[in-house]
Amino acid sequence: MTQRQLGEYLGMEPNLASARMTQYEKGQHAPNFLLLKRLSGALDVPIPYFFCEDDTVAELILELDKLDPAERQRLLEELKQGGAPSES
């Protein structure tokens, strides 16, 4: 999907879509929350993913998003206890 296609999918005017998406990507403009929510859905990534400056943290967010809430809670408790997560 091109930036223009993504922008149009998100409801932007075709003649502005590519430029606006480039501005978001480069940090020249920030999308409002509603657009960020739609972008999150279009790209199938959680909203916090967009705020990661560290690639490892971004990857962790993507992996955590795949877990069900109980698995996330178990993992969080194990990490808080200072241990490596155990295999289920």
* DSSP string for residues in 19-75: HHHHHHHHTSS---HHHHHHHHHHHT--GGGGG-SSHHHHHHHHHHHTS-HHHHHHH
Domain ranges of the chain: 1-44, 47-88
Region 1-44: CATH code: 1.10.260.40
Phi, psi of 72, deg, nearest 5: -60, -45
Confidence of residue 86 (pLDDT cuts 50, 70, 90): low
Q: What is the rounded average pLDDT for all residues in the chain?
A: 92
pLDDT tens for each residue of 26-55: 999 999 999 999 999 999 999 999 999 999
